[in-house]
């Protein structure tokens, strides 16, 4: 709209309230608002804005007019009916001579001030009686170096009136200690006006510290699960271990007071990360699911997607560089997702979590390729590092660790797992950065909680109560010893990813009971347990089938699943004996 006629031409009724200058305009506004007849008035310096902003809550809520003055002259527009004046600001902005002149006129004068605009604002807030404990947090300095420019603050007084809230001023880049101390006495929440250029998240965090942020690393065996509880009571769950760990994760969440999950993050489609999410999604209301965008054909992944769809949970694949907005006190930036990766692990959603001066880095199973991309694009420096891929040597490369420069590392891996996680090479890399046994924590059957107030951190661990095994029953008086576990010489002779078949041959000199044996799709992260009553004869070959055309015809064919389990972009078949020993593997 170029002028008023444009507005009028569109049917708007337009009236301008103004005067020759800002002082007369303020008086005209008071007259228009019907407050000019009041006997009480507020007086502020008309050449600055901050004190007027501090006064605006009281003015709006109590319908008291604000008049503007220079630093040493009473405004000519001040009505003769005024009996009481409250001056907002120190003597440097409204001089003692004005105060004296008002008193000589028989006007009762009160001054609300402090050594700077922020302390004046605090003292003004203390004078205001509101029914709402929440408050508006507004930038208290101009965005311009040459003019008094407060783009977000213009809405503050009207909003304060509507919501019955006080207005609290904040410096955009510095923490005002007096403001922080005052806010610590308020049992309410902040409504921040403006974006992060007006008040940065770090400053908001420093001002609005209402409690610690707790990051729970939950023991789920050979898998991952992390619960983030933000200072403002929001809950974010990242992964939930394999399918069998779901009940343990649900138990842990309940024990820690979780009733709703604001975000559930599925870092990538491997079963040891998303399997347990199925129980979690069935048990808790979830506001949004965040996914890597990396598709998979495994039954676990399909079950997870179907459940999200069935429950109509908002589903999002976040862009790299974007933020998850859940709590104004913290930043959660997405450093990696599944875009451009053929490998599940590198497709992991990676997050950098910042609260005050403390950073957490959570990279899922991201390996060297993804780590390199993150270093090129982002500042990955973090005090707390969740070690990638359970401590595999394919992750936590020296270059990446040098950029992260962690002070504390947490490793989630199963006790005596068959992969050798964490790899001793990774432990040595961490030690090379100055970490030691006191700052490298392996879960090893315990849950670890790393808490921070935004300035310092503390860590604690406790046995995993939810994941503990039931006590073994008392043995019979004359127990029969278990048979010795069996192993043997078997060979994976063929892996056909398209046909979803694996051929395994017994090259031993004897028949082998397959009870306790398992076949693993590494990239698909699926496990097939051989039937306990199945024996592979000496010299015989068995084909393990999956997919739509799978079938079973013993002894030569076994059916794994009707789901497509192998990654057609490349996968590895591994065969383990009952002791967890790797007998053979084949990559395609």
Give the domain extent around 385: 213-463
In angstroms, the CA 273 to CA 245 distance is 10
Give yes or no: residues 132 and 260 share one domain: no
Give yes or no: residues 98 and 79 share one domain: yes
Give yes or no: residues 94 and 222 share one domain: no
Structure-block tokens of residue 434? 């100055």
Q: CA neighbours within 13 Å on the CB side: how many for 147? A: 3
Query: What's the burial of 191, exposed, middle or buried (CB within 10 Å: 0-12/13-18/19+)?
Result: middle
Q: What is the pLDDT of residue 256?
A: 95
What average pLDDT does the segment 124-128 reach? 86
Query: What's the burial of 513, exposed, middle or buried (CB within 10 Å: 0-12/13-18/19+)?
Result: middle
485 in a structural domain: no
What average pLDDT does the segment 375-387 reach? 97
9 in a structural domain: no
Give yes or no: residues 168 and 243 share one domain: no
Q: How many domains does the chain have?
A: 3
Q: Using an 8 Å Cβ cutoff, are 393 and 371 in contact?
A: no
Q: Using an 8 Å Cβ cutoff, are 320 and 295 in contact?
A: no
Going by pLDDT thresholds of 50, 70 and 90, the confidence category of residue 298 is confident
In angstroms, the CA 257 to CA 99 distance is 56
Kindly report, residue by residue over 237-279, the tens digit of the pLDDT: 999 999 889 999 999 999 999 999 999 999 999 989 999 999 9
400 closest CA partner among 418, 426, 423, 434: 426
Domain CATH code at residue 417: 3.60.15.10
Give yes or no: residues 222 and 203 share one domain: no
Instruction: Give the whole-number percent of the chain exceeding pLDDT 70.
Output: 93
Residue 190 above 90 pLDDT?
no
Place of tokens 């000519």: 76
Q: CA neighbours within 13 Å on the CB side: how many for 100? A: 5
In angstroms, the CA 265 to CA 263 distance is 6
Give yes or no: residues 235 and 186 share one domain: no
Edge-to-edge strand ranges of the sheet holding 518-521: 526-529, 518-521, 572-576, 582-587
Domain CATH code at residue 167: 3.40.50.12090
Instruction: Convert 136-199 into a string of H (helix), E (strand) and C (coil).
Output: EEEECCCCCCCCCCCCCHHHHHHHHHHHCCEEEEECCCCCCHHHHHHHCCCCCCEEECCCCCCC
234 closest CA partner among 184, 189, 169, 202: 189
What average pLDDT does the segment 481-502 reach? 78
Residue 466 above 90 pLDDT?
no
Give yes or no: residues 159 and 176 share one domain: yes
């Amino acid at each position: 709209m170029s002028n008023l006629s444009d507005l009028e031409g569109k049917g708007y009724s337009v009236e301008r309230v103004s005067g020759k200058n800002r002082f007369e305009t303020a008086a005209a506004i008071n007259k228009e608002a019907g407050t000019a007849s009041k006997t009480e008035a507020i007086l502020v310096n008309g050449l600055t804005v901050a004190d007027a902003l501090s006064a605006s809550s009281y003015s709006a809520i109590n319908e008291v007019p604000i008049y503007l003055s220079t630093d040493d002259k009473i405004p000519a527009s001040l009505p003769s009916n005024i009996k009481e004046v409250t001056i907002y600001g120190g003597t440097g902005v409204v001089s003692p001579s004005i105060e004296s002149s008002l008193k000589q006129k028989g006007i009762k004068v009160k001054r609300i001030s402090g050594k700077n605009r922020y302390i004046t604002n605090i003292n003004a807030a203390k004078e205001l009686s509101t029914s709402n404990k929440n408050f508006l947090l507004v930038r208290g300095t101009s965005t311009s170096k040459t003019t008094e420019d407060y783009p977000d603050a213009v809405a503050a007084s009207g909003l304060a009136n509507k919501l019955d809230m006080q207005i609290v001023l904040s410096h955009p880049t510095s923490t005002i200690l007096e403001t922080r101390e005052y806010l610590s006495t308020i049992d309410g929440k902040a409504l921040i006006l403006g974006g992060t250029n007006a008040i940065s998240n770090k400053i908001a965090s420093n001002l609005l510290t209402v409690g610690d942020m707790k990051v729970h690393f939950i023991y789920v065996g050979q898998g991952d699960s992390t619960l983030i509880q933000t200072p403002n009571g929001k809950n974010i769950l990242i992964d939930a271990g394999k399918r069998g760990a779901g009940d343990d994760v649900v138990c842990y969440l309940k024990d820690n007071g979780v009733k709703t999950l604001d975000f559930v993050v599925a870092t990538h489609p491997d079963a040891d990360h998303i399997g347990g999410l199925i129980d979690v999604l069935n048990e808790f209301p979830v506001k949004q699911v965040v996914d890597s965008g990396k598709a998979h054909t495994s039954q676990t992944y399909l079950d997870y997607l179907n459940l999200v769809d069935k429950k109509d949970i908002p589903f999002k694949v976040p862009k790299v560089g974007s933020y998850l907005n859940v709590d104004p006190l913290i930043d959660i930036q997405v450093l990696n997702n599944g875009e451009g990766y053929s490998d599940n692990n590198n497709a992991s959603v990676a997050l950098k979590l910042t609260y005050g001066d403390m950073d957490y880095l959570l990279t899922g199973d991201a390996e060297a390729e993804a780590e390199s991309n993150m270093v090129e694009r982002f500042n990955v420096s973090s005090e707390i590092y969740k070690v990638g891929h359970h401590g595999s040597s394919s992750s936590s490369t020296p270059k990446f660790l040098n950029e992260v420069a962690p002070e504390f590392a947490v490793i989630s891996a199963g006790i005596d797992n068959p992969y050798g996680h964490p790899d001793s090479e990774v432990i040595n890399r961490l030690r090379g950065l100055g970490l030691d046994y006191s700052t490298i924590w392996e879960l090893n059957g315990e849950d670890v909680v790393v808490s921070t107030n935004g300035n310092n951190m503390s860590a604690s661990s406790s046995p995993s109560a939810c994941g503990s095994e039931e006590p073994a029953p008392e043995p019979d008086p004359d127990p029969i010893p278990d048979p010795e576990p069996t192993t043997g010489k078997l060979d994976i002779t063929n892996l056909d990813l398209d046909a979803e078949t694996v051929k395994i041959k017994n090259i031993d000199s004897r028949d082998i009971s397959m009870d306790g044996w398992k076949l693993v799709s590494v990239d698909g992260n699926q496990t097939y347990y051989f039937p306990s009553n199945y024996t592979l004869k000496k010299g015989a070959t068995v084909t393990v089938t999956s997919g739509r055309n799978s079938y079973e015809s013993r002894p030569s064919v076994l059916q794994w699943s009707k789901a497509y389990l192998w990654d057609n972009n490349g996968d590895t078949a591994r065969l383990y004996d009952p002791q967890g020993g790797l007998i053979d593997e084949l990559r395609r």
